[in-house]
Amino acid sequence: MTYQVKLDAFEGPLDLLLHLINRLEIDIYDIPMAELTGQYIEHLQAMRVLQLDELSEYLVLAATLIEIKSKMLLPVHEGEVFEDDYNLEVENDPRDELVARLIEYRKYKEAAISLKGSAEERSGHFTKPPEDLTEFGEIVAVETEESMNIFDLIGAFQKMLDRKRLKAPLTASISKTEVSLSEKMDEIMEILERGGGKCAFHSLFEKWETTELVVTFLSLLELMKRRDVIVEQHGNFDEMTVSFRREDE
Amino acid sequence: MEKEDRLPGMIESFLFIVGDEGLTIKQLTTLTECEESEVALAIDWLRGNYEKRNESGIELKVFGGAYRLVTKAEFAEDIKRLLENPAPKSMTQASLEVLAIIAYRQPVTRVEIDDLRGVKSEGPVSTLIAKGLIMEKGRSEGSGRAILYGTTDLFLDRFGLESLDGLPPLSQEEEGEPIETDLFMTKFQEAFAIENDGGGNIS
Amino acid sequence: MEKEDRLPGMIESFLFIVGDEGLTIKQLTTLTECEESEVALAIDWLRGNYEKRNESGIELKVFGGAYRLVTKAEFAEDIKRLLENPAPKSMTQASLEVLAIIAYRQPVTRVEIDDLRGVKSEGPVSTLIAKGLIMEKGRSEGSGRAILYGTTDLFLDRFGLESLDGLPPLSQEEEGEPIETDLFMTKFQEAFAIENDGGGNIS
């Protein structure tokens, strides 16, 4: 049976084994070792693409499977069994340890799926960045216990990046739809028109939004490049003025 | 009496100000200068009120012990549409597995995680640290003094859990096939089918 | 019809998320994909509702054409307590955020920190200096000659680090993708640098 598997879809040998058990509709509590071992090794052969160190982990389990299989093939010689060992012999199925491992692993695999679900649900609830409290007064420097560690630091940083992710695109998407470079250039020309051909440099930058400031500035540079406007400053700290470029210049 | 009347509004204003930081009931008790029981009552009242006003866009939730105001899930799609940014990449299966093991077994060493999964978990562990979801919680008693890992408050927040007690119980093995397993296997096969059709990566 | 019913809640959730920046009616019209008249109606309804619920801690206001959710004036005094409180988590969080930015991005100016966080970081920066965790590490090349901050040896000591190389790496995602605003700021600064070479001071 040829079965195309994308092997990197497996998280490890136990994962592969669980997959096989499911596909072959095997009862996990009564694994036919010969069949499973055969299938497992067949898959390993297709796995040559894997890196060596990854492969080694798969090989370790292959060895375990073969060991279990051979133990099960060994005939139980009645004579060699001590009477009081009888119960032990029954309980000591060579597969027990493997089954226990698989079941334990499967528990966490399921838990991982449920965790993923809760993360998705949580991501549907958005919140807001903390308000800037400076308008309420000076923030008192608070002495905190110095029990913080590097992991608190990482947590704080991650949280901030999240917040940024939430905030930046929001303002960007709004300004993107509202101000393009060419629109802004037209707007600047209009302002100049209204101001009798000139205006103060800073008056163009009264909007507070970063992206809009940038667009305004880039528009201005573009207008200067096209020689539509000129920016002048007389003294070192004088107000700069933007004006139409005169024809005779 | 008058103070009590103001309490829900005061709490609401505090929660609004701190936004995604949230506030614990202890912090709220200090800030409102009220009894913890009064605060708890006011929170319940607020929470109930948000639920009742079903035209409301926000609600009160508690994640990792911190109360916060959040938008209602029903507006998630609208908000995502306006955010326009790709949602942060969802975690890989490997990271989720490691995270699940740490969440349920903490404190736990990397060797134990490796053993449970049957593969090395170095990569996922450092990814989880970088994401602020797990942290060092001391060292084991053994000779190796191996690092013990546990989950962070950020983990609780990110996964919408009130506390670690809020983790769903691990499936109990019963005789006969547990339903969850089927569900899990179905999901896995679906993923697999997609994988086979599309040829893309599952990660 | 159903869309209309959802409109006030949707607007409320939008206004909640944008916080102190607020949204104009034009932006809300675009975002909700509704008619301006519908939006105006929904806003009126929302506003009336906030007024009616006099136990509410927040209300809807218009400043400079932008609608914003704000806390009610009657809680201003209480909110001040948020500034003085011995250990509100948010204050610690702010300091930690700033410290993390400085640790990972040093040397870094306060403007860069503000920009990354989207809020002013004056308070946390001076707290961190007072605690001896960060210090001035020179001045930036730019026109403003802004102070560059870096971490101190005490920082390494407090956080149990041998050297800065001992900082765990942040997840690659973050490193790889430049945040949009950063890109803009870079462009902005480049543009400014050009301007400066040619002309006088911009301030």
**What was the pLDDT predicted at A17?**
93
> Any idea which residue has 């932006």 for tokens?
C27
Token couple for C166:
């001992």
- When pLDDT is cut at 50, 70 and 90, the band that residue A91 belongs to is low
Domain edge (last residue) among B59, B81, B103: B81
Q: Is B134 helix (H, G, I), strand (E, B) or coil?
A: strand
B108 shares its domain with B196: yes
For residue A204, CA distances in Å to A201, A207, A214 come to 6, 8, 11
B168 shares its domain with B99: yes
pLDDT digits (tens, 9 = 90+) for C19-51: 777 888 988 998 888 899 999 999 999 998 888
Token couple for C127:
């707290």
**What was the pLDDT predicted at A167?**
59
Cis peptide before B86 (omega within 30 of 0): no
- When pLDDT is cut at 50, 70 and 90, the band that residue B181 belongs to is very low
**In this structure, are residues A125 and B50 in contact, taking their beta carbons and an 8 Å threshold?**
no
* Cβ-based burial of C197 (10 A; exposed 0-12, middle 13-18, buried ≥19): exposed
| Contact call for A107 and B87, based on CB within 8 A | no
**What was the pLDDT predicted at B21?**
82
Q: For residues B43-57, give the mean pLDDT.
A: 88
C124 shares its domain with C99: yes
If one compares B182 and C7, the residue with the highest pLDDT of the two is C7
| Contact call for C17 and A221, based on CB within 8 A | no
pLDDT digits (tens, 9 = 90+) for C74-116: 898 888 887 776 444 555 677 888 898 899 888 999 988 888 8
For residues A230 and A227, what is the distance between their CA atoms, to the nearest angstrom? Answer: 7
Domain edge (last residue) among B34, B61, B81: B81
Token couple for A145:
């216990």
> Strand pairing of C108-109 and C147-151?
antiparallel
> Any idea which residue has 């999901």 for tokens?
B187
Is this model's pTM higher than 0.80 or not? no
pLDDT of A53 over the 80 cut: no
B50 shares its domain with B138: no
If one compares A9 and A31, the residue with the highest pLDDT of the two is A31
Ranges assigned E (strand) in C122-199: 134-139, 147-151
- When pLDDT is cut at 50, 70 and 90, the band that residue A90 belongs to is low
**What was the pLDDT predicted at C91?**
56
Q: Does B76 contact A at CB distance below 8 Å?
A: yes
If one compares C181 and B93, the residue with the highest pLDDT of the two is B93
Token couple for C60:
């809807």
C28 shares its domain with C105: no
If one compares A65 and C80, the residue with the highest pLDDT of the two is A65
pLDDT of A228 over the 80 cut: yes
CA B17-B21-B27 angle, to 5 degrees, is 80
pLDDT digits (tens, 9 = 90+) for A176-189: 445 677 888 888 88
B96 shares its domain with B64: no
Helices C36-52 and C25-32 cross at an angle (nearest 10°) of 110
C192 shares its domain with C98: yes
C41 shares its domain with C121: no
**What was the pLDDT predicted at B35?**
93
**In this structure, are residues C187 and A214 in contact, taking their beta carbons and an 8 Å threshold?**
yes
| Contact call for B118 and A61, based on CB within 8 A | yes
Find which of A195-199, A243-247, C58-62, C193-197 is predicted with most confidence, using mean pLDDT.
C58-62
Mean pLDDT, rounded, of chain A: 75
**What was the pLDDT predicted at C194?**
36
pLDDT digits (tens, 9 = 90+) for B23-42: 999 889 988 989 999 999 99
- Out of A157-166, C52-61, C123-132, which region has the weakest mean confidence (pLDDT)? A157-166
- When pLDDT is cut at 50, 70 and 90, the band that residue A249 belongs to is very low
**What was the pLDDT predicted at C195?**
37
C74 shares its domain with C103: no
Which chain C residue's Cα is nearest to B23?
A: C89
If one compares B95 and A195, the residue with the highest pLDDT of the two is B95
Domain span including residue B66: 3-81
Radius of gyration of the CA atoms of chain C, in A: 22
Nearest CB to A126: which of C17, C82, C180? C17
Residues 12-71 of B with CB under 8 A from C: 12-19, 21-24, 27, 30-33, 53, 55-58, 66, 69, 71
pLDDT digits (tens, 9 = 90+) for B67-97: 999 999 999 888 887 665 556 667 888 999 9
For residue A19, CA distances in Å to A22, A37, A113 come to 5, 13, 15
Q: For residues B127-149, give the mean pLDDT.
A: 89
Give strand pairing partners of C67: C23, C62
Domain count along chain B: 2
C62 shares its domain with C102: no
B22 shares its domain with B112: no
Token couple for A18:
């669980």
**Which chain A residues have a beta carbon less than 8 Å from that of B169?**
none
Q: For residues A153-171, give the mean pLDDT.
A: 68
**What was the pLDDT predicted at B116?**
94
B25 shares its domain with B42: yes
**What was the pLDDT predicted at A237?**
58
Q: For residues A146-152, give the mean pLDDT.
A: 68
CATH number reported for the structural domain that contains residue C104 in this entry? 1.10.10.10
Domain edge (last residue) among B56, B81, B106: B81
Q: For residues B128-154, give the mean pLDDT.
A: 90
